[in-house]
A and B are shown apart, each in its own frame.
Chain A
Amino acid sequence: MNQPEASAQAPAPRTGDVVMRASGLVKRYGNVVAIRESDFEIRAGEVLAVVGDNGAGKSSLIKALSGALVPDAGTIELDGRPVRFHGPRDARAAGIETVYQTLAVAPQMDIATNLFLGRPLRRPGLLGSGLRMLDHKKMRSQAAEQLDRLGIATIQDITQLVGTLSGGQRQAVAVARAAMFGTRLIIMDEPTAALGVRESRQVLDLIARIRDRGMPVILVSHDMPQVFEIADRIHVHRLGRRAAVVTPKSCTMTEVVGLMTGALQMTADGTLLESTTQHMPEEKPASPHASESAE
């Protein structure tokens, strides 16, 4: 079911070169198949929304891309080169940053510390690289700079504990951290799910700013209006694989929801058909160029 040639044949995307591409990913948990030969592709400078019903396997896909789980089969390419992630560490080393739904922040540590969690700045060692002290001062100043750069003005004190921040502020900290270290790609898992209207707005603005600085963003979201507002393309995930890739301009929300639930199907030439049955385990995965024709 793998169709790498389909991707290869796709015309050059307007938004930029392919940054990351996955083909034929499979992940099983015992008898449960979470990812079923799924393909994936994101290009430079775009916000790619990943939508799908609960249980469609979105988060498994995202975890595979961020190194949090190791797929049983399939390939992942970064800038055209195959990569293999054995853990989040590997993905991070490759320049892929993830903002987890849980945010992965330490509530009892301050903002600066959280920004540098797991990779603190250290002063030159007294004994080579043996005993290197933390550079608290530099971390604080760089953290402050980063928040300013991203226009996060709701946070005043860089030494505030993250646990004392509002949900939106915490999200901003997690996003700022990802933006600080992400050199190739930023993945955001439901960044606004826990937020109110106003805070969601701020996070969306932040995502737009990151995209405008040239960084591709994968946005996993349930919020359809939000997706339609910010995404450049929409990857629809269903039954463990990519069902379609569409653009907000070419499709309506109702159509996207139809693709998510299986009420609609996308054919190889990009047209949408009403399906008669809900479950079609043998359905062909949509080919990547479907999105192009859809545009």
Chain B
Amino acid sequence: MSHLRSSARASVRVPVVAAAGVALLVAGCTSTKSGGSDDGSDSGGKVAIGLVTKTNSNPYFVKLRESAQDEASKKGAKLIALAGKFDGDNQGQVDAINNLVAQNVKGILITPSNSTGVLGAIKAARDKGIVVIALDTATDPASAVDATFATDNEAAGVKQGQYVKGALKGKKPAIAVLDGTPGSTVDDLRHKGFLKGFGLTNGSPEIKGTAVTNGDQTKAQTAMENLYQRDHGINAVYTINEPAAAGAAQALSGKSGVVIGSIDGSCTGVRNVQSGKFAATVMQFPKKMAQQGVDAVVDYAKDKKKPSGFTDTGSQLITDKPLSGLESKDTAWGLKNCWG
């Protein structure tokens, strides 16, 4: 369970920025203050809650922040939202946590970068009686935080695998696997879940080829073209996220009968399901993570009851071609609930 990153879309930004942006690595946070005054919960009687996301450019985290903000307003709490500069900005997260501790927050919601530095800062915060909740991404070990609200990515992968298998309607599967970034735990869990849902293993002959796409639509397109060139019989595609699925769909445009599955639940992705570019996607719910996280902190402030354990915020198969035996929602529902 090392550095679980729920949004593969977010995780892929690391290498390029890190490679080219030496001078950008000036540690620090982009502060997006939401809420009233700077001082802590005691002053206005409001419960102060800190939120630390990986970045604030990724729409997934934007949705997370907005949802947390809405929930906090509803519950009469104050949200202080901070973010790292880029995915993997460990120092930025450490600074953000220290910042929040200094502001006397009751609880911190964090989509943690996985580093000993961040874990150390979390421990220091918890030692001061602040409740820390991981959103979207679990820490390693999971016990480093009080509780985790996140998507079970393996379960989400299983849903994609089951659907793609069912959609082949008994045809002999010939699968192309478009992975995200090697070593990313989220990517590994989704990959594993897909195979599990399909009833395969990594060495299965049904898998005609795998490629790394970094979740980039253009890389996925090229990879899909090359895999298809290798084997024209490919009829099923696993994708790490929706941009990868869009690239695969473009590569296979004009070739009918290939079932493309995906994961994420962005509005663009749902629209692509609606237009038939790919067959199904599995939606995750940053909004739920944020709401449950905020609620947990507010409860803690009220009655000192700490949340604990892993809470799966769920994932939902979205398709307009439902299969019997698989619970799914249509794209109309998907467009109402997509995260950005």
Direct touching of A and B (C-beta under 8 Å) = no
Residues of chain B at the chain A interface (Cβ within 8 Å): none
Residues of chain A at the chain B interface (Cβ within 8 Å): none
